[in-house]
Amino acid sequence: MNRLVSRSVLLRATRCFSRTTEVSGKQTCLIETHKKHGGKLVEFAGYDMPTQYGDLSIKESTIHTRKHVSLFDVSHMLQTHITGKDRVAFIESLTTADVQGLQENSGTLSVFTNEKGGIKDDLIIMKTDKDFLFLVTNAGCIDKDLPYLLENAAAWRAKGKDVKIETLDNRGLVAVQGPEMAKVLQEGTDIDLSKLTFMKTTVGSVFGIDGCRVTRCGYTGEDGVEISVDPTKAEQLVDRLLASQAGKVKLAGLGARDALRLEAGLCLYGSDIDENTTPIEAGLAFVVAKRRRETLDFPGAEKIVKQLKEKSWPKRRVGLLAQPGRCPRSHLPLIDPLDKCAIGFVTSGCPSPTLGKNIAIAYVDKSHSKEGTKFIVDFGAKQAPVEVVKMPFVPTHYYTGKK
């Protein structure tokens, strides 16, 4: 999911604002926490957000998350309730998800699609045991997603349907990610985390704060949760998590989050997926639910399902491993070393703190997407070899309840 800025933009922003705690965008309910802990702020999606904190570099913060547990402020993301008796049919009319088939208090990653089969945005949909669906969508797409939801809901109501959109303005959202998450959180919650498996959600008390929605998910590849919390209690929640003695808890920013998601092979909206890329081309066929492949009642369904059935998509998202030296960055072309023709382009890249190697995500012609295929990445004045490898680059550790 687009939970942070692209790596190249991020690094430029970090250099520009590396010594400031004052920017000029909107602020989340955790802005004072960022300032208190030396957060280096940049403007992202209209919000002042920390790229890192004074006690750890981006590399150190990434490794800390893999070994221990980190807290990320993702309160800038859009949290929404969809209510009304037609809420399930409504959200299915806009996405590829089988919400009807979800168990209560469980959810799925899905995508809004356009009529050409492209991805308008990716989102999390949770089917609660209450009278609403809980959605989390990308901060960078709020100006697109919210009007899209509101306009379509109004059109449904005009046809006599019962559906309403309620935004949870300014509500806090804290991601707690890493292998020590469960033992840190369990000491402070009445939720049995052993029963809360990946993509399940529930409401409970967390460190004395009632009404927290805890969802087992994240954007790092590690075991983790995202906690939706009253904005007036968000700082208290973070302070109590940081004070835990059950694990080594640290704050982390956008820099580590980008490295972590890239190591996990996860897409960043606007870089790795967009309105000109179908879920199939992006390697996200799993978000197109089996029942929806039959009903064909979402935007762009015919093109997407045709690609699936005929295996006819022209390009494919792949992982790249680069040699030591310059790291591939977004928009750089990939060259076939034999015929010297361009066969693709990089969409994301960074030096992997966990692997100690340069990694990237790219799109290439489907005929060139086999693991082990070698290309040349063209930096302009210089070139460097890269190789197609399997993603994720780093093994994921989502909690399924199975050993």
Q: What is d(CA 79, CA 172) in angstroms, rounded to the nearest whole number?
A: 9
Average pLDDT (352-379) is: 97
Q: What is d(CA 374, CA 400) in angstroms, rounded to the nearest whole number?
A: 35
DSSP designation for 103: P
Look up the pTM and report it: 0.94
Question: Is 226 marked as a binding-site residue?
Answer: yes
Average pLDDT (111-130) is: 98
* pLDDT tens-digit series, residues 280-323: 999 999 999 999 999 999 999 999 999 999 998 999 999 999 98
Of 235, 232, 271, which Cα lies nearest the Cα of 138?
Answer: 271
Domain boundaries defined on the chain:
30-75+171-263, 315-392
* pLDDT tens-digit series, residues 194-222: 999 999 999 999 999 999 999 999 999 99
* pLDDT tens-digit series, residues 238-259: 999 999 999 999 999 999 999 9
- pLDDT at site 2: 42
**Residue in the block written with tokens 């340069």:** 358
Class of 315-392 in CATH:
mainly beta
CATH topology of domain 30-75+171-263: Gyrase A; domain 2 (3.30.1360)
Of 225, 249, 252, 239, which Cα lies nearest the Cα of 50?
Answer: 252
Confidence of residue 14 (pLDDT cuts 50, 70, 90): very low
Of 180, 247, 243, which Cα lies nearest the Cα of 207?
Answer: 243
